[in-house]
Amino acid sequence: MYVVTGGAGFIGSNVLAALEARGGDELVVVDRLRSGEKWRNIAKREITDVVAPEHVFDFLETHKKKITALIHMGAVSSTTETDADRIVTNNFNLSIALWKWCTVNSVRLIYASSAATYGDGSAGFDDTFTPEALARLEPLNAYGWSKHLFDRRIARRMEAGRPTPPQWVGLKFFNVYGPNEYHKGGQASVVSQVYPHAASKAHFDLFKSHHPDYPDGGQLRDFVWVGDCVDVILWLLDNPSVSGLFNMGTGQARTFYDLAAAVYKAMDMTPMIRFKDTPLSLRDKYQYFTQAEMGRLRAAGYDKPFTSLEEGISTYVTRYLDSGDRFV
């Protein structure tokens, strides 16, 4: 049995699809579906149970002898969320409780961290997992701080030689894009926001840079195809001896203009891109550059190539966004 928190969310639902394709295991979703269409992310899956987050520990205790791994993707993931108490409750306190449960019950744990932990990037994007290295990072928003808080807590436990789950892995996800992100609204990838403009043969407005080192549209991010993230998680499940905190990007930064242009190209169109002012509230909390250092994951044994931006966007557009069925 695999238990996936945030299993109806973006990355979690893609993980479920991949686990189902392997066959033979019960799949359990821990999530809130609410009143939107988030349920469509798991509508095709053969699911054993859907558990509300407040009941997760009752479920875990009842089924602990059957659980192979807990894949913890659930979080308040909005970088613009301002309720820090809500963020701490969901992203830190719950994660600590799940870590302790997995440790006591010898259940493997893979959890989502974030590239938002790196802040403005002035301290680099090296995933060295020591309390000293992590202390140099300064996240720009409460979401990034909550993920960083948990990473630091685990690093201190490791340094102190405290007990751990039999396998534990944190993944610092960079800018992930792909199907099943539609419920995220303004927090969905720019790819999904460009597509409807391209489909209607309209211009898309990218944010201006407001930074002397980057031209408009020249802001750089490490954009990673969700399928690559899933492949890494499956590889980790196949390699239980691998533990640690790892970046989950491609190692190659690309511009937002490249990304938007690739959407139009996937639809055989000339790019139609304009620029608009970035809201003042975001300008001092904005990552103008991210690029994952991928050496530690490669050194751990993961050797599969990452999908290029153009290939990933072409797949996303042609197989999902521009088809009759957008969902995995």
For residue 78, name the pLDDT band (cuts at 50, 70, 90). confident
201 in active site: no
265 in active site: no
CB hemisphere CA count around 268 (13 angstroms): 2
Q: Which residue ranges make up the annotated binding site? A: 10-11, 31-32, 38, 73-77, 90, 147, 175-176, 184, 186, 193, 207-210, 221, 286
Residues 116-158 have pLDDT tens digits of 999 999 999 999 999 999 999 999 999 999 999 999 999 999 9
Residues 278-290 have pLDDT tens digits of 888 878 778 999 9
What is the rounded average pLDDT for all residues in the chain? Answer: 96
Q: Which residues pair with 138 in a beta bridge?
A: none
Q: Which residue ranges make up the annotated binding site for NADP(+)? A: 10-11, 31-32, 38, 73-77, 90, 147, 176, 184
Per-residue pLDDT averaged across 74-103, rounded?
94
Q: Give the pLDDT confidence score for residue 10 in this predicted structure.
A: 98
Which string of b and e fits 46-70 if b means at least 16 CB within 10 Å?
ebbeebeeeebeebbeebeeebebb
Q: Which residue ranges make up the annotated binding site for substrate? A: 175, 186, 193, 207-210, 221, 286
C-alpha angle with apex 221: 86 to 146, nearest 5 degrees?
Answer: 20
> For residues 81, 184, 260 and 142, what is the CA-based torsion angle, rounded to 10 degrees?
20
Total-model pTM: 0.97
For residue 91, name the pLDDT band (cuts at 50, 70, 90). very high
Per-residue pLDDT averaged across 9-17, rounded?
98
Q: Give the pLDDT confidence score for residue 280 in this predicted structure.
A: 86
Class of domain 2-178+223-252+289-306: alpha beta
Lowest mean pLDDT among 97-111, 170-184, 280-294: 280-294
* H helix intervals, 93-173: 94-105, 131-135, 142-159
For residue 31, name the pLDDT band (cuts at 50, 70, 90). very high
Of the candidates 2, 111, 143, 177, the residue annotated as catalytic is 143
Of the candidates 44, 64, 184, 285, the residue annotated as catalytic is 184
Q: Give the pLDDT confidence score for residue 86 in this predicted structure.
A: 95
* Domain boundaries along the sequence of the chain: 2-178+223-252+289-306
253/291 Cα distance (integer angstroms): 5
